[in-house]
Amino acid sequence: MGNFKTLQEACYVANMQLPKLGLVVYTFGNVSVVDRELEVFGIKPSGVPYDALLPKDIVIVDFENNVVSGKMRPSSDTKTHAYLYKVWDQIGGICHTHSTYAVSWAQALRDIPNFGTTHADHLTQDIPCASPMSDELIAGDYEHNTGRQIVDCFVERGLSYKEVEMVLLGNHGPFTWGADATKAVYNSKVLEELAHMAYLTLQINPEAKRLKPSLVKKHFERKHGEGAYYGQ
């Protein structure tokens, strides 16, 4: 059993962002951070309130869902994280919350339309809402299958997890990821903002249209394209 202090600390810091950003109440969320060399990830323990959480409580788990280090039981969503790390080999962190607006779109079973440049600054596509799982998948290895359902949705729709770093799982809520846990949490906050704005947009104008392709392209590329000129 190695020394996972750095991984635990990074995972702890990312988890503690969730209540500060208003994305969770009680224990409604979890963040994990992966170590690609060791093929393990740190994840929040199950059912522990944020204000009682300590870095040493972070559980270290391998990609086959075995606890490698830690005295607590890992998040009940651990198998979903493991599946995503295994299949999507370039993500460094994953975040799951029950944030209000994102969950509401998931409950409404609706993709979040790309209505403006705040959205296009982050992704060119609508934010996908994956269908709820079949009864068979639910009755089976549920959390593992949750990961499958997300990945299958991306395959079916031809989406790249490197561009679209967020998804809604129908009747459940948001999962986000990124190069590291900080980016995964950032994406959860951005998703909540986009979900809020898209909701208001449709209330103000039920006929609101997506922004046009030229504008989507411009905004996405000035942040993420070859000649990106945003940031330092």
Q: Residues 35, 62, 121, 152: which is the catalytic one?
A: 121
Among 25, 67, 68, 87, binds a second copy (CB under 8 A): 25
Structural tokens at position 9:
């600390």
Instruction: Give, as ranges, the residues between 140 and 199 that touch a second copy (CB under 8 A).
Output: 142, 171-173, 186, 189-190, 193, 196-199
Structural tokens at position 144:
């593992």
Neighbouring residues of 58: CB distance < 8 A, sequence distance ≥ 6: 4, 7, 8, 11, 12, 15, 42, 43, 44, 45, 70
**46 interacts with a second copy by CB under 8 A:** yes
Q: Which one-letter DSSP state was computed for residue 44? A: P
Residue 104: half-sphere exposure toward Cβ, Cα within 13 Å: 13
Of 24 and 164, CB closest to a second copy: 24
**124 interacts with a second copy by CB under 8 A:** no
**13 interacts with a second copy by CB under 8 A:** no
Q: How many CB atoms lie within 10 A of CB 39?
A: 13
**37 interacts with a second copy by CB under 8 A:** no
- For the purposes of burial, counting CB atoms within 10 Å of the CB of 17, is it exposed (0-12), middle (13-18) or buried (19 or more)? buried
Instruction: Report the nearest approach of a second copy to the CB of residue 16 (Å).
Output: 15
Site of interaction with a second copy (CB under 8 A):
25-26, 28, 45-48, 72-73, 76, 98, 100-101, 103-110, 115-118, 132-133, 135, 138-139, 142, 171-173, 186, 189-190, 193, 196-205, 208-209, 211-212, 214-215, 218, 222, 229-232
